[in-house]
């Protein structure tokens, strides 16, 4: 009886505090959840972000709770957050620890657009922005649908074969089960590596030559040299269609390709643009 009373008291107190302050206190430990929160209009409620969070640019001035891979849990607790937004995979241990300490942690780990929409809804629900979340999801769906409609007008046999390079040494690519693969097919390309059977892997360099992609996208900055030059200069790769046609691109912002947030739509648009140039 006494215990129940105590719980009720704590609960009331917690509610009172939340409502008295009027605003939520949100800590976001990943760049993607930070972008989602801001897209839901929660920027002012964000009281702590990771050192990797850089979009929208204004979040850079927020309190830092450590890096993405090593969030500082003491710092998070001191910020007294109502909700902590994190990712389930890389931060599994940190999530577990924070939960043990009684924090309300929302881990999200989407691997496709449907999963991303669910994550947006979940974050919206936890932060009292259900309506905004539904709106954001509707907008994203609409953008994707318009790209799909555009793509469907091109005959499947005319769609470009695409090689997406995540890293050059060793060469790594994205296969089935990755966001990149879904983004490539949504944007109207055919991923030459969709038979690797795993989201990310080292890929056979000779198979890139054998499968002869029409477009090569580099998911990193090729830097000093031109992208086409750095790829075309590789031994054996000079005859690849994409290289000969100068269709090697490194100019898509990697954050719009790898960060599972609202800006992935920009990534799909950019891919579509490069595929049908």
The count of chain residues that interact with other proteins, using the rule CB under 8 A, is: 47
Whose Cβ is closer to other proteins: residue 129's or residue 259's? 259
Binding flag, residue 233, other proteins (CB under 8 A) = yes
Contact status: 134 vs other proteins (CB under 8 A): no
Cα-Cα-Cα-Cα dihedral of 15, 107, 262, 264, to 10°?
A: 180
| Separation CA 220–CA 218 (nearest Å) | 5
Cα separation, 39 vs 213, whole angstroms: 36
- 22 near other proteins, rule: CB under 8 A: no
Q: Does 226 bind other proteins (CB under 8 A)?
A: no
Regarding 57 and contact with other proteins (CB under 8 A), the answer is no
Contact 144, 183 (CB under 8 A): no
Select from 98-106, 108-116, 177-185, 215-223 the region that touches other proteins (CB under 8 A). Answer: 215-223
Contact string 239-258 vs other proteins (x = CB under 8 A): x--------------x---x
Q: What are phi and psi of 177, to 5 degrees?
A: 90, 0
Measured CA to CA, the distance from residue 273 to residue 154 in angstroms comes to 14
**What is the DSSP code (8-state) at residue 101?**
T
The span of 62-70, 77-85, 121-129, 137-145 binding other proteins (CB under 8 A) equals 62-70
Residue 102 or 223: the one with the smaller Cβ distance to other proteins is: 223
Strands 161-168 and 171-174: antiparallel
Rule CB under 8 A: which of 69-98 touch other proteins?
Answer: 69-70, 90
For the four alpha carbons of 211, 215, 216 and 219, in that order, the dihedral sign comes to negative
Nearer to other proteins, 41 or 229 (CB): 229
Count the alpha carbons within 13 Å of 174 in the hemisphere toward its beta carbon: 22
179-186 and 113-126 helices, crossing angle to 10°: 110
Does residue 44 bind other proteins (CB under 8 A)?
A: no
Taking CB under 8 A as the criterion, the residue among 75, 132, 237, 269 binding other proteins is 237
15: which 2 tokens? 């509610």
| Residue 162: CB minimum distance to other proteins, A | 15
Residues lying near other proteins in the complex (CB under 8 A) are found at 52, 67-70, 90, 166-172, 175, 193, 195-198, 200-207, 209-210, 212, 219-225, 230, 233-239, 254, 258
């Amino acid at each position: 009886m006494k215990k129940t009373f105590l719980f009720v008291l704590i609960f009331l107190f917690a509610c009172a505090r939340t409502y008295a302050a009027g605003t939520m206190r949100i800590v976001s430990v990943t760049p993607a959840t930070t972008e989602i929160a801001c897209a839901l209009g929660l920027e002012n409620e964000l009281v702590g972000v990771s050192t990797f969070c850089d979009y929208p640019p204004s979040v850079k001035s927020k309190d830092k709770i450590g890096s993405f891979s090593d969030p500082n849990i003491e710092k998070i607790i001191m910020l007294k957050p109502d909700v902590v937004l994190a990712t389930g995979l890389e931060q599994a241990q940190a999530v577990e620890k924070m939960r043990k300490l009684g924090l309300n942690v929302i881990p999200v780990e989407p691997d496709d657009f449907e999963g991303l929409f669910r994550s947006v809804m979940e974050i919206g629900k936890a932060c009292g922005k259900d309506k905004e979340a539904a709106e954001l999801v509707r907008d994203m769906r609409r953008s994707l649908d318009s790209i799909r409609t555009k793509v469907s007008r091109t005959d499947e046999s005319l769609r470009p074969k695409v090689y997406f390079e995540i890293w050059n040494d060793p060469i790594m690519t994205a296969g089935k089960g990755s966001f990149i693969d879904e983004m490539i097919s949504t944007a109207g390309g055919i991923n030459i590596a969709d038979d690797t059977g795993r989201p990310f892997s080292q890929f056979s360099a000779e198979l890139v030559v054998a499968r002869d992609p029409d477009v090569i996208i580099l998911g990193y900055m090729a830097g000093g040299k031109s992208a086409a030059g750095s790829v075309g200069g590789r031994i054996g790769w000079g005859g690849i269609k994409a290289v000969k046609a100068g269709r090697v691109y490194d100019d898509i912002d990697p954050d719009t390709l790898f960060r599972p947030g609202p800006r992935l739509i920009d990534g799909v648009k950019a891919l579509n643009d490069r595929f049908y140039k």
